[in-house]
Structure 1
Amino acid sequence: MAAILASGGGCDLVDLVLATSKSILQIAKVLSGRQAEREVKKLLRHFIVHCMLVFDQVQRIRIIMVPKNDLLLRALGLFESLIALDGTSNRPYARQQRLNEHWDSIRTQNADAKFAFASHCLALDQASALHALDESFNVWEEDVMAKYPDDGLDWSLDDYSPPKERRPEPSYAVHSAARSMFKALARSTSCECCTKHDARLCLRTYRTLEVYQDHDNETNDFEMLLSSHYDWQETHIHTIRKRIVRFIVDNETQPSPPPKKPLGYKPMPVKKLCDQLRKMEQMASKRLEFKVENGRLLKLRSEKSKFRIDKRKAPMSLQQFIRGSPRSLTEKTKRILAVLLSYTVLHLHDTPWLQPSWDSSNIFFFQTLSSNIPLRPFIQTQLTVQDLNDQGQDEQKPQSNANSVEFLERDPDDLDPDDLDPDDIFTDPDDIEHPFPTLVTLSIVLMELYLAAPFDILAKNRELYFPDNVDSRTRSLDVASVFNEYKREIPQNSRFHYALEKCLDPRTWEDDGGRKLDDQALSVRIYEEVVRPLEDELCDAFDFIKIEELDATAETLDFRSWGQAIYQHEEDSSSRGTPVSLTEGTFSSQRRDWAKVNDSVSSYLPSPNFESGPYSATGSEYVAAKFYDDEKPSESHSRLEKEDYMQWRLKHQAVLRKFIDPFLKQPLENPVKIAVLDSGVDDTHFSLDTGQIKLKRNWTTAKKKDVTDNVGHGTFTASLLIDYAPDSELFIAKIAEGIPSPPEVVSQAIRTAVDEWKVDIISMSFGYPTNQMEGYEQLERAILYAYSRGVLLFAAASNSGANLDRAYPARDPHVICVHSTDSNGNRSKFSPTPLARESNLATIGEAIESAWPVKLCNTETNSRCVQWKSGTSFATPILVGIAAFLLQYTRIHLPDIAHMLKRQEKMKNVLLKISDKTQQSITRDGYSYIALNLFADNLLGKSKVFIDETIGELLKR
């Protein structure tokens, strides 16, 4: 393998097959857009799908693929035979190496240069060989699914080890610093006030070490809330420690400390903590500042509060979220909390902060004065000296003879009863006690997070019942039995699964002699076997999240609002409309990055400036006009959601291959024309370089020809239309730069689409909350005009759920309103409530993959320049694509009556017929769910004679 890597330019075989699949996919799209020969064009489309599947499948199982994996080598062989470039080099798979190198340098050039290269790099001259290759890819895909099914049951964990990255290990000194801090605080509570002193410690990774005022020392800063009279006080504590040698990765160097900064005053020793808490009761805007030095708690000068909690509102525990609001647990918040809680065990194991009996009810989240609940967990404990005394006694307790090496190494069958020491302690072999109960609890909480259900309910659902006071010797076995019941729901190839198994395996936490690990060895083992895999899982799912910045990142997310970013408007009029973080000092450096990845930002940004053009959209009545793409960020969609969508799209494409591709003539006699009213388009993206975009115009500025997409929404929508209506012609109308333009601007775009472009369909993935606004009458007249000219209009319903009804223009009777479902036709939670006595048409709008502007992508981490989105904004172009298919079908197979399908009522009737599976079918969740596939229950799964008769009857009614 080393020789292969050396000769392959440093690229391993998995990376090579991923790179090749992307290159051939892009090249095939370029060729397909200009290919005149029908049979070759059809095969190119097949290879586009094969490349997508190869990429997704290899990506899905890459962590268990060894270099000589048969499926991996077969994929490489198939790609090698498809490439026509010279491969005389001694490098393995030289054709693919050369193809990728050349395409990387060419794909950013103009369309003609790309086509010139693409036209001679694939072996497309032998039809029989191409058909055989097409079938070989089909067999490969079947074999992958057979060997590595979606649920991962046949995947071997023995092949997995946490991947080695360049991420440095955390500081293991946090553990001792937390212990010292507890001692110092507890000693300060030895007073006569008879008040219980509670503390809630903020749970963080504590990866960022700060240099304190003293040049020779470093500090771990702990944030917490302290209480004496049930009134919580924000507190910040510095723990001073001498510098220690840390793990250094490669050429990483320790940061140079800043120069000494004298305090200017002498810190005051704290004798009674409650006295300091009472003084702060009248200083709501301040936080206590302490320092722990040489075991003493010293008071520093108070500083401005950084985390203003609403003391009128009770905190919510993690258990309350899991029991009462499990939908708050998105893929992003689950993974972030898993990492933070694993760090909790890493830093706080065997300290008074983390009792063996801790669980999700001990983890709290506080509401701020701005009514947000930041993803900032705290763990609660009581400050008592007794805890310290008990712990000290436990630490000094000698090991029994039964735990000695000599005793353990003897065979029980060789023991003579007379040899037994009466002081020896024996344990029933069935009582397997986990050496570290806190890890067993962590496994419980991880299961609760992943499955979004409390542990007792998980056990009950599998008819497992445990006594309330479970003996610690059997607790780990009970938890393991629940885990075994849910293994099918946690893919075995995932690092989440790996971390769970390690937590529950007692042998992981013992040395070679069977003895429990000491503190230092335990910390290293926890990081290697639990924390790091969970870090990798998080970073793989959300590549914009950096572990070194996770503490600050998590605090900017609203747990109650599905992990959306927390923003508020500054009251200073000079910066009104600028988003700022509610947790001061944690977000300023990350604001720009989050604006790129968090869809919710768009609704808080100031109105765009259209002053350079003839129209202005700065009036307050247009602030609520919006696109309906803000359900959740790209990175929040799960792997299963993505795979379900890919399968849904493949079923649609199978219908096109059967009913459209074999009958197309080049050039098309009467292609379906679609106008896309959106935010423009990035037509340099390879997915849109198919030759389908015919005309473009900008209504937001005086530069009519510049339709550059600066927000991504229009590119995403146009690419979907290319996916679902690959033989249509697109006409791009840019009517938005951030938010949609006023209604009169949209009305002009509609009239141009009808009169000049002669389109068949108009797609509108935006809306207004009301029609009571200036200029909307013009939009209504334009819609009626298009309707009267036989143009089909589709618009997104909105993403307001039951809070608002359909938006405008989707509510207009002359427009087909599009609702959203998941891949199984279940109503999306954000889609509006269906209307009575209305045809509530819906199609998939969740976890949709499509193109994203190249300039808005980090091509190093997102080389395909795609995003995953949810919203009725994206159900709309998919349903438009289905309508375009029906128009193309009738023009090919029923030309005499095809024109009738451009009547809105006729198109609705055909779409409703597709949604009916049988004559007894009723709507699902009040929606008529539209999907194209070749199943027998679908209209397109019937014989062609039946399809033609059915459509003909519907059109002639």
Structure 2
Amino acid sequence: MATAWLGLVKHQVLPNDSLQNPLRPFVEAQLRKTDDPGDYEDEWTEEFDSGHSCPEMVALAVVLMEIYFVKPFRQLAEMHNIPLIDTRSGRITLMDVDQVFWGDEEGEEGWRTQIPEDSPLLEAIDNCLDGEIWEDNEGDRLDVEELRTRIYEKVVRPLELHLRHGFSQIQLDGVDQYAKSLDFGKWSQVITTKETDQLLPLSAGQTTSRVPSPALLLAQGQFDINAMFSRSFQQVSHLQAQVPSSLSHLGYALSDDNLSEMSQFFDDHVNDGDKSVAEAETEKYRTWRSEYEDVYKTFVGDYIDQKPTQPVKIAILDTGIDRDHPFLELYEDNMKGKKNFHNASQKNVPDTNGHGTFAANLILDYARDAHLYIIKIADKKNATPDAAIVANAIYHAVDKWAVDIISMSFGWPSSDMVGHDALEDAIDHAYSKKVLMFAAASNSGARLGRAYPASNPHVICVHSTDTNGEASGFSPTAEPNSINLATVGESVESAWPTLLGQDSRCLQSRSGTSYATPIMVGIAAFLLQYASLHLPHKQALALKRREKMEALLRRCAIRGPNYKPRDDYFYVHLSLHKHNLFGGELDWVNYEISRALRT
């Protein structure tokens, strides 16, 4: 980054295993001499800095933005398709910052909308960019002493108070001492040395698991008790007193109302318990996924470049997506559309819950050549949206984007809810347009039946199993006279938003029919892609009908002539094993698929 304040050509901050003390990072920078002619800009660039007498504060705003989003400023501009002004020194102008932060004249939303309004960091950035704060009554730049005081009052002080609130059990004077105990080379794990133990007798220094700072959580407005603390309650019980009472409703585990727990709109489970057991189960899932990837490569990946086809278009209705996640950045070209129905005034679809990012990454894991369209229908509080919002989202996906599949990892306990008729009409409309719809069965086990819209006859209901095909305890009982389709939904690993992440990779392992659903959606997209590559056009079109897709998924579950569904679930798992549909040669697979489509 090059700024008027720092004057750097480039700089690097490289934490590594040998670098423990976060107060002394390894920094490499190339500084330009003051008489370097490259320091002087053409006069025409001055107009792009007009309106602000203190470029140092603009540069500080850039630094704070980069810290919050964990991205270089130029990358933030590129991600919103905002071209930066080409200056001789490469420095960033005030106009650049305004467009990237606030948005451009063509209506592209700026990054400001992705920072919570009550964030002290947002207040600090706003103040940095407010030119009037840094001028006297005559409109001239403040003198040095007044400028120093104003910087403290408008920028440093809000962040200092926020830091003090976040570390309420640590005196501000002791924050540096506390920070010395954290190993940034190992993603803020505590440095376990005798010296540290003596210096830091606080309970915060005793845990060896990485726990997000309460200051960071509060800064992001993402302090979710259930998601962040339930798995390590014993290690961080000293933080419980710091949780504001106004936020207690965010964790459903705190409620005594069993019905409320059963009817969560986005229903899933974090994998608790013995870490070694949980890791072993996640490893089984990775093996399960790798077997599918072999099938995908053999029957689609090796053909798609030779015989280009129209990509499968998938809409996901969820809590948004973290497009900055390193895993999802790899799929940036796959993401073709976004729409925020939760907050119509916002163009972006930030995910402050995690559910949407997790599910979207799963779809792309299993349908890596598909085009993905993101629709945000809910936010971090896991509150049930108005059914009209979901109905409008379906109409938009069908009529504006002409998608092939809609993924819905949510549900109401029953169809007896406000707005049911409007949502039913939207589902009927999508069905009439031959759009495949998948929805989560629910996570209430035998206590409740299928949730809505999974219970709608036009929607494919997805149940959950473990990697061996055993019905998950939370998955509803199979229904008679119905094709009960299921796939893996336990110990599923996927992306978690970087601002909510608890490890260096920002991954989580979670369970639920919510996550079996996007996996099944990805498998269905693979089958559509397979059909367009290897089957006659008429058969490929037929597969877009719910009945035909259900029949083919049922055939994917059958292994051998004497197959009987376990727990009355047709367990969908693709591999190259000879008992699997895709365990034979291409001609044999085509024949079996054609047979299934004739039923």
Bucket of the pairwise TM-score, normalised by the shorter protein:
0.5 to 0.7
Equivalent position of 2:419 in the other structure: 775
Are 1:848 and 2:500 matched, yes or no?
no
CA distance, structure 2, for counterparts of residue 786 and residue 592 of structure 1? 43
Q: Report if aligned partners of 1:717, 1:877 keep a CA contact under 8 Å in 2.
A: yes
CA deviation after TM superposition for structure 1 residue 601, in Å:
1.8
Q: Report if aligned partners of 1:634, 1:867 keep a CA contact under 8 Å in 2.
A: no
CA deviation after TM superposition for structure 1 residue 669, in Å:
3.4
CA distance, structure 2, for counterparts of residue 956 and residue 628 of structure 1? 36
CA deviation after TM superposition for structure 1 residue 715, in Å:
0.5
Are 1:645 and 2:285 matched, yes or no?
yes
Report the 3-state secondary structure (helix = DSSP H, G, I; strand = E; otherwise coil) of the residue aligned with 1:908: helix
What letter matches 1:808 in structure 2?
Answer: Y
CA distance, structure 1, for counterparts of residue 513 and residue 594 of structure 2? 30
CA deviation after TM superposition for structure 1 residue 251, in Å:
7.9
Q: Deviation per CA, 1:688-713, whole angstroms, max 9, x where unpaired? A: 12111100001111324121111000
Equivalent position of 2:304 in the other structure: 664
Equivalent position of 1:739 in the other structure: 383
Change (3 A) 1:105 1:732: closer
Equivalent position of 2:211 in the other structure: 544
Which residue of 811, 815, 825 corresponds with 2:459?
815
Q: Deviation per CA, 1:541-589, whole angstroms, max 9, x where unpaired? A: x54399xxxxxxxxxx99xxxx7899xxxxxxxxxxxxxx9xxx96643
Q: Deviation per CA, 1:409-456, whole angstroms, max 9, x where unpaired? A: xxxxxxxxxxxxxxxxxxxxxxxxxxxxxxxxxxxxxxxxxxxxxxxx
Equivalent position of 1:806 in the other structure: 450
In the TM superposition, 1:489-638 aligns within 5 A as: 543-544=210-211, 588-589=240-241, 591=243, 601-602=251-252, 624-630=263-269, 632-633=271-272, 638=278
Change (3 A) 1:688 1:586: closer
Q: Report if aligned partners of 1:699, 1:735 keep a CA contact under 8 Å in 2.
A: yes
In the TM superposition, 1:111-122 aligns within 5 A as: none
Equivalent position of 2:515 in the other structure: 874
Q: Report if aligned partners of 1:106, 1:113 keep a CA contact under 8 Å in 2.
A: no
Equivalent position of 1:922 in the other structure: 564
Report the 3-state secondary structure (helix = DSSP H, G, I; strand = E; otherwise coil) of the residue aligned with 2:446: coil
Are 1:900 and 2:542 matched, yes or no?
yes
Equivalent position of 1:249 in the other structure: 195
Q: Report if aligned partners of 1:631, 1:799 keep a CA contact under 8 Å in 2.
A: no
Change (3 A) 1:254 1:12: closer
CA distance, structure 1, for counterparts of residue 576 and residue 532 of structure 2? 20
CA deviation after TM superposition for structure 1 residue 252, in Å:
3.5
Change (3 A) 1:760 1:604: farther
In the TM superposition, 1:313-324 aligns within 5 A as: none
Change (3 A) 1:600 1:655: farther
Change (3 A) 1:635 1:698: farther
CA distance, structure 1, for counterparts of residue 321 and residue 15 of structure 2? 36
Any gaps of 5 or more consecutive residues in structure 2?
1-13, 20-69, 82-192, 214-224
CA distance, structure 1, for counterparts of residue 416 and residue 487 of structure 2? 29
Q: Deviation per CA, 1:190-244, whole angstroms, max 9, x where unpaired? A: xxxxxxxxxxxxxxxxxxxxxxxxxxxxxxxxxxxxxxxxxxxxxxxxxxxxxxx
Report the 3-state secondary structure (helix = DSSP H, G, I; strand = E; otherwise coil) of the residue aligned with 1:838: coil
Equivalent position of 1:677 in the other structure: 317
Q: Report if aligned partners of 2:295, 2:574 keep a CA contact under 8 Å in 1.
A: yes
Report the 3-state secondary structure (helix = DSSP H, G, I; strand = E; otherwise coil) of the residue aligned with 1:626: coil
CA deviation after TM superposition for structure 1 residue 249, in Å:
2.3
Equivalent position of 1:515 in the other structure: none
Which residue of 934, 939, 949 corresponds with 2:576?
934
CA deviation after TM superposition for structure 1 residue 812, in Å:
0.8
CA distance, structure 1, for counterparts of residue 521 and residue 491 of structure 2? 18
Equivalent position of 2:473 in the other structure: 829
Q: Report if aligned partners of 1:106, 1:114 keep a CA contact under 8 Å in 2.
A: no
Change (3 A) 1:635 1:733: farther
CA deviation after TM superposition for structure 1 residue 630, in Å:
2.9
CA deviation after TM superposition for structure 1 residue 603, in Å:
6.5
Are 1:726 and 2:368 matched, yes or no?
yes
Q: Deviation per CA, 1:163-185, whole angstroms, max 9, x where unpaired? A: xxxxxxxxxxxxxxxxxxxxxxx
Q: Deviation per CA, 1:379-434, whole angstroms, max 9, x where unpaired? A: xxxxxxxxxxxxxxxxxxxxxxxxxxxxxxxxxxxxxxxxxxxxxxxxxxxxxxxx
Q: Report if aligned partners of 2:271, 2:491 keep a CA contact under 8 Å in 1.
A: no
Taking structure 1 as the reference length, the TM-score comes to 0.38
CA deviation after TM superposition for structure 1 residue 865, in Å:
1.1
Change (3 A) 1:704 1:668: farther
Any gaps of 5 or more consecutive residues in structure 1?
1-7, 14-103, 116-246, 257-534, 547-556, 567-580, 607-619
What letter matches 1:544 in structure 2?
Answer: V
Report the 3-state secondary structure (helix = DSSP H, G, I; strand = E; otherwise coil) of the residue aligned with 2:407: strand
CA distance, structure 1, for counterparts of residue 456 and residue 292 of structure 2? 29
CA deviation after TM superposition for structure 1 residue 895, in Å:
3.9
Are 1:888 and 2:529 matched, yes or no?
yes
Are 1:857 and 2:501 matched, yes or no?
yes
CA distance, structure 1, for counterparts of residue 17 and residue 288 of structure 2? 33
Are 1:109 and 2:55 matched, yes or no?
no
Q: Deviation per CA, 1:456-492, whole angstroms, max 9, x where unpaired? A: xxxxxxxxxxxxxxxxxxxxxxxxxxxxxxxxxxxxx
In the TM superposition, 1:83-482 aligns within 5 A as: 109-110=75-76, 249-250=195-196, 252-253=198-199
Larger radius of gyration: 1
Report the 3-state secondary structure (helix = DSSP H, G, I; strand = E; otherwise coil) of the residue aligned with 2:443: coil
CA deviation after TM superposition for structure 1 residue 633, in Å:
4.9
Report the 3-state secondary structure (helix = DSSP H, G, I; strand = E; otherwise coil) of the residue aligned with 2:268: coil
Provide the identity percentage: 41
Change (3 A) 1:910 1:249: same
CA deviation after TM superposition for structure 1 residue 950, in Å:
1.2
Change (3 A) 1:848 1:10: closer
CA distance, structure 2, for counterparts of residue 621 and residue 811 of structure 1? 20
CA deviation after TM superposition for structure 1 residue 626, in Å:
1.0
CA distance, structure 2, for counterparts of residue 684 and residue 108 of structure 1? 14
Equivalent position of 1:686 in the other structure: 326
CA distance, structure 1, for counterparts of residue 73 and residue 598 of structure 2? 49
Change (3 A) 1:751 1:668: farther
CA distance, structure 2, for counterparts of residue 743 and residue 665 of structure 1? 41
CA deviation after TM superposition for structure 1 residue 628, in Å:
1.8
CA distance, structure 2, for counterparts of residue 634 and residue 761 of structure 1? 35
CA distance, structure 2, for counterparts of residue 565 and residue 951 of structure 1? 47
CA deviation after TM superposition for structure 1 residue 684, in Å:
1.1
Equivalent position of 1:702 in the other structure: 344
Q: Report if aligned partners of 1:932, 1:940 keep a CA contact under 8 Å in 2.
A: yes
Q: Report if aligned partners of 2:271, 2:278 keep a CA contact under 8 Å in 1.
A: no
Q: Report if aligned partners of 1:565, 1:600 keep a CA contact under 8 Å in 2.
A: no
What letter matches 1:938 in structure 2?
Answer: N
CA deviation after TM superposition for structure 1 residue 740, in Å:
3.6
CA distance, structure 1, for counterparts of residue 263 and residue 476 of structure 2? 17
Change (3 A) 1:621 1:635: closer
CA distance, structure 2, for counterparts of residue 254 and residue 777 of structure 1? 60
Change (3 A) 1:251 1:762: closer
Q: Report if aligned partners of 1:631, 1:870 keep a CA contact under 8 Å in 2.
A: yes
In the TM superposition, 1:14-93 aligns within 5 A as: none
Equivalent position of 1:765 in the other structure: 409
Report the 3-state secondary structure (helix = DSSP H, G, I; strand = E; otherwise coil) of the residue aligned with 1:867: strand
Paired residues in the alignment total 400
Q: Report if aligned partners of 2:252, 2:261 keep a CA contact under 8 Å in 1.
A: no
Give RMSD over aligned pairs. 4.0
Report the 3-state secondary structure (helix = DSSP H, G, I; strand = E; otherwise coil) of the residue aligned with 2:269: coil
Change (3 A) 1:735 1:666: farther
What letter matches 1:748 in structure 2?
Answer: N
What letter matches 1:749 in structure 2?
Answer: A
